Structure 1
Amino acid sequence: MGLTWSLFFPPQPTLTAANLPSQEGKVFIVTGGYSGIGFELCSILYQAGGKVYLAGRSEEKAQAAIEKIKALLPSKNNSPVASSKPGELVFLSVSLDDLQTIKPAADKFLANETRLDVLFNNAGISNPPRGSVSSQGHELQFATNCLGPHLLTQLLLPVLLRTAKSSPSSNVRVIWSGSIVVDLSTPEGGPSVADFEHPSADQQVNYTNSKVGNWYLANSLAAQVGEHGILSLAQNPGNLKTALTRHVPAIIPILVAPILYSAKFGAYTTLWSAFSTDLTTEDGGKYILPWGRLHPSPRKDLLAALQSEEDGGTGSAFKFVDFCDRNILEFK
């Protein structure tokens, strides 16, 4: 009961724009960077001096967000990050639900940058109309929340690895976005590959499965690159007032409004995941809760899903990642 209560009423954030160190010289990618959590995160990183790529499908929306972020820049008299000069904001065109767009986006980034300090796999979709599919015919939430970010991450691994090698103290990280549904709604044992091959008619079930899939991918990446100095984590950013709920019945946001928080709080969860000095690569694959803290007691059945059968687990996460690998292979 205590954990569930804290998911709805988290303790105060400990890392915000007010105490985030300067990010001058660092480079970031934030998918879904022109709205919600992504917008708030880009704003904070820009004010702290970072070079931020807003990745998304709409250049018009991205440019509008960039201008708004620049206009919001606090004066030196009241800015918590006034010691930092503003960074840069750059649009990166990509549609996570169309795997064909992802390699061109990664190639464009790699042609312009020699480092990447944090990749924020922030963008996502929830409860689109029943039957919605991606350009490649996958259930839309699985494609957007899992396949697209997985492919983008794998294509950017060379620059992430190079950054970690050249700057051991730079805390290179990949942050994946989960949800409260991971704790509260995931069926016993977690989703299997069959749940993605044959999606449910219930879009909320498919959303929950995709969010658990994000944790599976975060854990797999941690095993893949943790020894090279890259920390991969999954996080529940919190219950927020964002456009993520645009596809659910209009009454639902109204009913849950008393327990929804500003998107800025979700950015605080993400900041802690990306910059907390309390975390090391040994924490790879762990799950972060709002507004920045390690999950104290993840569900045992989900921990078993993250373990291989040889190690006494169910191997569900390994089978899921293999399924994702097979679906992105031709687009790498």
Structure 2
Amino acid sequence: MSAWSWITYYAQAFAHSGLPIVPLSKAPHWSPDELGDQSGRVILVTGGNSGTGYQTAREYYAHGATVYIGCRSAERAAEAIDNIKRGGDVDIYGEWSYAPVDAARAGSVQFLELDLADLDSVGRAAAEFVGKEKRLDVLFANAGVMASPVGLSTKQGYALQFGTNVLGHQRFIAELLPLLRATSRANPANPARLISLSSLGHMFAPKGGIDYNSVTADGKQLDTWSEYGLSKWGNVALAKWVDSHYGPRAGAGADGKGGEVIAISIHPGTVATNLSRHIVDNKSKLYNYAVPWMSVRASKGTLNQLWAAGVDVETARKLSGNYVACFQTQSPYRPDLDNVESIEKLWEYCTAQWKK
């Protein structure tokens, strides 16, 4: 790309960053009420016990879906499920308020034990889910860690941000793809969807996206933001891989068996969640002053992924393989994400790790 193209790309990215202080960022023009009746549908949200994952689970539960929240702790899951059933919403300072949920309209919500930083846990969670459900309408690859201290690793020895955000999710997606495709074959007019939570931070990835010398804990150490950017580049890449093999333009799919899966990556905006726990002290005066200017509450930050999952099928098919930024806007992504070889290499690398 030319220098001017890069300038244009960064300007567009900033304009749709979701920062409240950026006037060019479009206000949301979609409401979760537009999800409509979700009864009979099955939704799975990784990291569904907090932040945007919690809000996603909350909305689908209120609209009648069968919802699974994947998280590591049964205790935190139980607390989240209680709040979901009570209609709990949390503001930018972590204060809760509650609104009654229409019990006649509500669905169900269940805990799925899932630790994305442990590939064995990921495999067990996928097998447990497939054993319980015969369909999966939307998989939200939502969970993640951000700006964790350099040197932390997953159980199998991968750099924590890559291992959690990319490697763990890739195995989970791969294991659940047959169920997503079967759901689409049973209802081709409304195909299953994968919503991959990425970030504007994907622009901080190293040149080419993934530096494979840095993805293991004993390899080259990147600074924390480069490692985070690498992982968010990977989250866009995972959605692009699924789209290229099984998306609307893939015909009968890579194996000729059909089963379309719409795959969209999104940027939620700058959201006030516990994702930033490694960056700031939530009790500091500076944080309390800055947060209204720098972030939005989780319910607003959830709108992009809810919209991508709930928008009409024709629009969703056009978005498949693309990246949605704030708010409900198809936005440019890093140009190196159009490198087919890089996308394939990442998927094959991840698959090889958990098949060892």
TM-superposed deviation, 1:324: 1.2
Is 2:198 the partner of 1:190?
Answer: no
In 1, Cα distance between equivalents of 2:178 and 2:348: 20
| Residue among 39, 43, 48 paired with 1:24 | 39
CA contact (8 A) 1:193 1:323 kept: no
Contact preservation (8 Å) 2:86, 2:101? no
Deviations 1:280-327 (A, max 9, x none): 4353221111222211x334x334xx323xxxxxx3222222211211
Q: Alignment partner for residue 39 of structure 1, among 29, 51, 54? A: 54
CA distance in 1, matches of 2:71, 2:161: 16
**Match for residue 254 of structure 2?**
none
- Provide the rounded CA distance (Å) in 1 between the counterparts of 2:299 and 2:168: 25
Give distance in 2, aligned partners of 1:157 and 1:141.
23
Counterpart Cα distance in 1 of 2:289 and 2:102? 39
Alignment CA distance shift 1:114-1:6 (3 Å):
same
Distance 1:199 1:285 in 2: 31
User: Which one of the candidate residues 245, 253, 265 is aligned to 2:300?
Assistant: 265
For 1:256 and 1:230, locate their aligned partners in 2 and report how far apart those are by CA, in whole Å.
40
Residue 63 of structure 1 is aligned with which of 73, 78, 90? 78
C-alpha distance in 1 between matches for 2:211 and 2:319 = 25
Work out whether residues 87 and 100 of structure 2, in 8 Å CA contact, stay in contact via their aligned partners in 1: no
| Structure 1 partner of 2:14 | 4
Show CA shifts across 1:58-81 (max 9, x none): 11111111111111289xxxx999
- Amino acid in the other structure paired with 1:302: D
Residue 291 (1) aligns with residue 327 (2): yes
SS in 1 for 2:324: strand
Aligned residue runs from structure 1 range 290-329, under 5 A: 290-295=326-331, 297-299=332-334, 301-303=335-337, 306-308=338-340, 315-329=341-355
Verify the 8 A CA contact 1:217 1:321 in the aligned structure 2. yes
Equivalent position SS for 1:194: coil
Report the CA distance between 1:93 and its aligned residue: 0.5
1:234-279 Cα shifts (integer Å, max 9, x gaps): 1111101000000124378557521200011121111111111152
Report sequence identity in percent: 30
1:99-155 Cα offsets, whole Å, 9 max, x none, are 011121111111111100000000000122221000000001111100111101111
SS at match of 1:173: strand
**Aligned twin of 1:241:** 272
Matched letter for residue 336 of structure 2: L
Q: Tell me the distance in 2 between the aligned counterparts of 1:245 and 1:80.
A: 29
Residue 302 to residue 83, structure 1, CA distance change in 2 (3 Å): farther
CA distance in 1, matches of 2:29, 2:70: 27
Instruction: Note if 1:232 corresponds to 2:282.
Output: no
Judged with a 3 Å threshold, the aligned counterparts in structure 2 of structure 1 residues 80 and 14 are, in CA distance, closer, same or farther, namely: farther
1:173 and 1:230 in contact (8 A); partners too: yes
Alpha-carbon distance, 1:35 to partner: 0.5
SS in 1 for 2:199: coil
Tell me if structure 1 keeps the 8 A contact 2:209–2:230: yes
Q: Distance in 1 between matches of 2:220 and 2:138?
A: 32
C-alpha deviation, 1:36, in angstroms: 0.5
For the aligned residues, what is the CA RMSD? 2.4
Instruction: Count residues in correspondence.
Output: 315
Paired position in structure 2 for 1:217: 238
Match of 2:177 in 1: 157
Q: TM-score under structure 1 normalisation?
A: 0.88
Note closer, same or farther for the CA distance 1:85–1:328 as it changes in structure 2 (3 Å cut): same
The within-5 A match list for 1:110-189 is: 110-183=130-203, 185-189=204-208
The 10-residue stretch of structure 1 (5-14 or 96-105) with the greater mean CA deviation from structure 2: 5-14
Please tell me whether the aligned partners of residues 46 and 87 of structure 1 are also in contact (alpha carbons under 8 angstroms).
yes
Amino acid at match of 1:40: Q
Aligned with 1:101 (options 111, 121, 127)? 121
Deviation at 1:92, TM superposition (A): 0.3
Question: When the two structures are superposed, what TM-score results if normalisation uses the length of structure 2?
Answer: 0.82
Distance of 1:162 and 1:281 partners within structure 2: 18
**Aligned-residue offset at 1:89:** 0.3
